Structure 1
Amino acid sequence: MKQTSCKNPSHTRNWLLGGLGALAIAGVAAGVIYPSIAANAAANPPIPESAALSNWKENGADGRYVLQMLEGSAPTGVVTGKVLSDTQCTPDEQGINHCHNEISLPDGTTITVIDNHSMMVNRCLNPGDRLTLEQLETGWIVGTLANPSQG
């Protein structure tokens, strides 16, 4: 009599459940790892090509700040603005601060910018600071302290 191999259904089911379990664990691990990667990428935007910075730690050197527009419209031409606030300055994993600054403009409007910098290297913009502001490129302005030795 010819013997036929019989597949054990419980053995197949165990392999299938084990494989699905491994995929679920891998999915959870990717979900934990990926958001931190995505958040870090969002937290440290690429430096604008025209900014003349090699890294964000240089931002603020000699009182010159490359500022990312968050709210409002970038000024047209060169204007003087006054810093109204300095918030959300907790550093990220690379030690870069992403401070939010509200700045009043001469026309009465207010803009909000992000100052990506290392406060261990260059100071934050402080309320009361006066800056000369001009557009660098879309979404970016340059602010130069009226008196770089302030603070």
Structure 2
Amino acid sequence: MGAMTLGGVSLGMMRWLASRHTKARAEREASRWLMVTINRRPEEVVPDGRLPEPLARLGESIEVQVREAPGDRGTELGARPLMSVPTGVEEVMARLGGEDPRQAVRRALRESKGLVETGEVLVPDDLSTRPPTPTGMLVDLAARRAGGEGRL
């Protein structure tokens, strides 16, 4: 019974998420810049025009933008995928499966920020102190699946 309920909730959640995206909104989302602010000058972020390794790894599949952050607060580093981005139910399935191209861009931006600011890619500690209850296991699963979207 619990699996059927969980499956029903998942399907209902997928339908709700998919219904929030109209075609125009999906096109705006697909072309939207994903940005991070890095507490370094632009010449430190992209020395000699070389991108930080996590972004360079994505190669020709992304478009990158570097500019000074307002108020002398470092550098804004932005990127967006050049490939088509799934929409509707396909988007939900791609996100759940870790195959949404925006997830790779978000991860690369996050890793680039850590690498430029600290010299290493920072990984959050596992803060799980929940007992192994069904709810706790569900939260842990969601946290593991959120790797391309940040921390829950």
What is the TM-score with the length of structure 1 in the denominator?
0.26
Higher helix share: 2
Pair member with larger Rg = 1
Higher strand share: 1
